[in-house]
Amino acid sequence: MEILAYAKLNLTFEVLDWRSDGFHQVTTIMQTVDLADVLQIEPASKLTVECEYPDLAGNQNLVWKAATELAKVGQIEPNAKITIEKHIPVGMGLGGGSSDAAAALLGLNRLWGLGLSVDELASVAAGLGSDVSFFLWGGTALAQGRGEQITLLPPLPPLAVTLVFPDLAIPNKTATMYSKLTMAQFSDGGITRQMIQLLTAGQFVRESVAGLVFNAFSEVAAQSYPELVKMSREVVEDGGPIMHLCGAGPALFTLPSSQEQHQRIVEVLQPHSAGVYLVSTVSPDKTGIGSLLS
């Protein structure tokens, strides 16, 4: 079978406090977009995970761990061939690895005839990584705890999104960015609650959504990677919209008002050797469990 593993944005990302387990308490609204990896899953006599990028193949990929952990739950051998075709840039804050793992759980649950519910799969996903549970549903959702507690929200309508991939490679990025957070970047979840009120009011206003986008890592990223500040400033000085951080970065995104505005961003950022792509938000029926039911 073939499964699409969609990327995500964080419309809000608030860090509330430290946790006793070493993680941070977060509240975040996540949204899938139609940039996606492709997983091919088929029967095999043993477990193999293949990818065109050698460092993402084999047992170092989170997909391998997803397969072995799911097989333990089903009390079976994790026999399958999984081929990953990467389209989501690695290490940019778009959740590609987590999305791949969730897609593997969904596909293998069907291939192996385990019959587990999505809530049961979420228990496995929570042990794999903070974002994995979200991708079992996709669409628009609130994630709490360390990111594994998912509450679905009214989906956004199809909405154009400009994604910017800077020419930056950040080793051990997520842990590094979290280590740089101080209490000055902590908040009380109020921005996320405002966004939820807006999304549940039933009257979508693109400008209001854009005005509430927030990311606790923004200050840390600006201090650590001045290139991001320069790129964002040049877009705004050209009359473009404010750029926002994707997850822990370094990718940026914004909600362009038109195809023409997106094209202006492409032109402004051309000297920075950044990849600039136009994507769209996608609803739950196209992602996660919905992709296997359609």
Q: Which residues are catalytic?
A: 8, 131
Of 35, 120, 9, 14, the closest CA to residue 69 belongs to 120
Longest dimension (CA), the chain: 59
Of 9, 38, 256, the closest CA to residue 138 belongs to 9
Q: Rounded distance, CA 251 to CA 103, Å?
A: 22
Length of the chain: 294
Q: Rounded distance, CA 28 to CA 42, Å?
A: 34
In the block, residue with structure tokens 């778009």: 94
Of 92, 126, 130, the closest CA to residue 15 belongs to 130
Q: Is 144 within 8 Å of 153 (Cβ atoms)?
A: no
Locate 103 and state its tokens.
């897609």
Of 285, 281, 293, 286, the closest CA to residue 107 belongs to 293
DSSP secondary structure, 3-24, as one string: EEEEEEEEEEEEEEEE-TTSSE
Q: Rounded distance, CA 48 to CA 77, Å?
A: 12
Q: Look up residue 119 and give its amino acid.
A: D
Q: Sort 201 into a burial class: Cβ within 10 Å, 0-12 / 13-18 / 19+.
A: exposed
In the block, residue with structure tokens 């669409």: 139
Instruction: With H, G, I as helix, E, B as strand and everything else as coil, classify residue 93.
Output: coil
